[in-house]
Amino acid sequence: MLTRREFTTALIAAPYALRAQQGPLRARIKVDTERAIGDIDPLIYGNFIEHLGRCIDGGVFEEGSKLSDANGYRLDVLEAAKKLNVTILRWPGGNFVSNYHWKDGIGPRDRRPRRLEMAWGTVETNRFGTHEFLQYAETMGTEPYICVNLGTGTWTDAQQWVEYVSSSQDTAMTRLRKQNGRQEPWKVTYWGLGNEMDGPWQMGHRSADDYGKYALEAAKLMKWTDPKIKLIAAGSSHFGQGIDWIGWNRTVLEHLKRHIDYLAIHRYVGNPDNDYYDFLTSSMDLDERIRTTEGVINAAMSGEPRSRRIYIAWDEWNVWYRARGPQQRGRRILEERYNLEDALVVATFLNSFVNHAHIIKMANMAQLVNVIAPMFTNDTGMFLQTIYYPLALFANNTKGRALKLFVDSPTYESRRFGPAPYLDASAGYEDGMLVLNVVNRHRDQEVETEILTQDKQFAGPVDVSEVNGADIKDENDFGSTKVQTATRSARADNRTLRYKFPPHSYTMLKAKLT
């Protein structure tokens, strides 16, 4: 028999195991289609490719490979990207962009200069440049998003890039574009004003005040060149101890609030302490930063015309911690391998984007292939990582209006955030179709859930898609798929659907309401 001291020690050390002995876990979710948060912008399902490791060279683009087309695009990667329904693709960086001079990447490929690449310690061939990226975006059916160099680059560099890409007038830049094979402009809408300029690791790193002043002049020239473009400012990416990330955003907004359309935020999370339950609360940190950033934006826009809106673009995010360290140099770097718990965290991040649909209007997972990515290739093929599956389910199904759900879930005590609900949920509603996304964070127990509709009734069977595996550490690999999407159906009774969400699972329920 345990002594009182031994029992207390066990209670502190293993609260989750003790909870599992307390009987079935039960929850309720209430859905009201009139309680809308905002419209879900399709651009929250974006991605990102950077000249980093094997993301572009050896991933998206592999000249001479039997798996590539005549342009050098890997067809297996392109097909998987299309199925992922990537809505917007950010390029060329990332840290890479802060020393990238776009004119190096135009003209005949064999004549382009080879440059030392300072961000990731390689040689950049420049064989994949503006034309290759924009043609790839067209082939993929995605919106292009170009980030300009505000590190070592000039205002004129940024302005002329917009002119080269988007102008219809007869100028030296448009003649150069036509000479290089593109007669009509691409009319790119989305342009980033530099990358992570708050980070001391960035080439051309500046203070918030200096960045705000510099980016302002670039923004003016770029919008005078094409008034229809939308600009994304470099918001916070540096959240270390003692870092005034809120002050950075506040200062940048004071300089740029009349010219930008989005404020970019970056966040990567990980599980270095192997604490499953704490790792699964990572999206709660995201929620806090969204609410804080929204408040800073609202304060900055006080007194401005009500029609003038600035949204949040979460244009870098992912799980990233294993393939991280001081030696991030060369071609085989940042090749993170993902397991089931990583896929669950990705699903909770997507839930957060949907649950803040009124202010989050763009998001770009970093990155598309090989480098902290949902796809992984070698010379002969590829496999889909665990995180691919929740991304695909959200991007292809969760649309329309985001609904404000009532979720009554049992909780556990997390190390960083205190009480955390086992069930994390979001919902989209469009043309009578309800899509409910639910992550059960409990490692060992299912959660019996009563899902109630307040103003509609279920009509017909409910489609169920579940991402799960035998163990939270299960990974996929070449020739081995341990985590993927399984489908089945469920039945509802008028306004009620009773469903048992399995342990460590992400489930999407799709149902017609009348």
Phi, psi of 126 (to 5 degrees): 65, 20
Phi, psi of 173 (to 5 degrees): -70, -45
* Listed residue (496, 121, 178) closest to 331, CA to CA: 121
* Listed residue (91, 96, 85) closest to 60, CA to CA: 91
Same domain, 189 and 223: yes
Q: 287-331, pLDDT tens digit by residue?
A: 999 999 999 999 999 999 988 999 999 999 999 999 987 778 999
Q: Which residues of the chain have pLDDT under 70?
A: 1-22
Radius of gyration of the chain (CA): 24
7 assigned to some structural domain: no
338 assigned to some structural domain: yes
Same domain, 133 and 280: yes
End-to-end CA distance of the chain: give it in Å, rounded: 57
80 assigned to some structural domain: yes
Report H helices in 168-207.
172-179
Q: Are 366 and 89 in contact (CB under 8 A)?
A: no
Same domain, 24 and 91: no
Q: 460-500, pLDDT tens digit by residue?
A: 999 999 999 999 999 999 999 999 999 999 999 999 999 99
Query: Would you call 18 helix, strand, or coil by DSSP?
Result: helix
Neighbour order of strands in the sheet with 406-408: 406-408, 25-31, 447-453, 496-501
Q: How far apart are CA 371 and CA 60, in angstroms?
A: 11
Domain boundary among 363, 397, 431: 397
184 assigned to some structural domain: yes
Same domain, 262 and 407: no
Same domain, 407 and 312: no
Same domain, 379 and 429: no
208 assigned to some structural domain: yes
Q: Give CA torsion, residues 368, 72, 163, 235, to 10 deg.
A: 20
99 assigned to some structural domain: yes
Q: How far apart are CA 215 and CA 222, in angstroms?
A: 10
Same domain, 266 and 180: yes
For the chain, give the longest Cα–Cα distance.
Answer: 88
Q: 126-140, pLDDT tens digit by residue?
A: 999 999 999 999 999
Same domain, 346 and 251: yes
Q: Which tokens go with 245?
A: 């990330």
CATH number, domain with residue 368: 3.20.20.80
Q: Which tokens go with 148?
A: 């300009």
Same domain, 237 and 130: yes
Q: How far apart are CA 212 and CA 122, in angstroms?
A: 30
Domain boundary among 397, 431, 460: 397
Q: Are 439 and 348 in contact (CB under 8 A)?
A: yes
For the beta carbon of residue 368, count every other beta carbon within 10 angstroms. 28
Residues in the chain: 514
Residue carrying the six token digits 């001079």? 101
Q: How far apart are CA 439 and CA 345, in angstroms?
A: 9
Q: How far apart are CA 188 and CA 213, in angstroms?
A: 24
* Listed residue (66, 45, 65) closest to 54, CA to CA: 65
Chain-centre distance of CA 153, in angstroms? 26
Q: 61-72, pLDDT tens digit by residue?
A: 999 999 999 999
Q: How far apart are CA 451 and CA 262, in angstroms?
A: 36
6 assigned to some structural domain: no
Per-residue confidence (pLDDT) for residue 224, from 0 to 100: 98
Query: Which listed residue (50, 124, 316, 475) is catalytic?
Result: 316
Q: How far apart are CA 79 and CA 56, in angstroms?
A: 15
Per-residue confidence (pLDDT) for residue 22, from 0 to 100: 65
Same domain, 182 and 297: yes
Domain region containing 440:
20-37+403-513
Q: Is 138 a catalytic residue?
A: no
Half-sphere exposure of residue 447: CA atoms within 13 angstroms, side-chain side: 30
Query: Which listed residue (117, 132, 143, 196) is catalytic?
Result: 196
Residue carrying the six token digits 């270095």? 272
Per-residue confidence (pLDDT) for residue 350, from 0 to 100: 99
Q: Which residues of 68-77 are buried (b: 16+ CB within 10 A; e: fewer)?
A: beeebbbebb
Provide CB contacts within 8 A for 317, sequence distance 6+: 266, 267, 268, 286, 349, 363, 364, 365, 366
Total of domains in the chain: 2
Same domain, 255 and 357: yes
Residue carrying the six token digits 């006080």? 302
Q: How far apart are CA 427 and CA 405, in angstroms?
A: 7
Q: Are 140 and 187 in contact (CB under 8 A)?
A: no
3 assigned to some structural domain: no
For the beta carbon of residue 358, count every other beta carbon within 10 angstroms. 15
Provide CB contacts within 8 A for 329, sequence distance 6+: 120, 121, 122
Same domain, 246 and 361: yes
Amino acid at 191: W
Residue carrying the six token digits 């043609």? 135
Q: Which tokens go with 490?
A: 């469920």
pTM: 0.95
Q: How far apart are CA 485 and CA 389, in angstroms?
A: 6
Q: Is 34 a catalytic residue?
A: no
Domain boundary among 375, 397, 419: 397
Rounded alpha-carbon distances, angstroms, from residue 230 to 209, 224, 235, 306: 22, 12, 15, 18
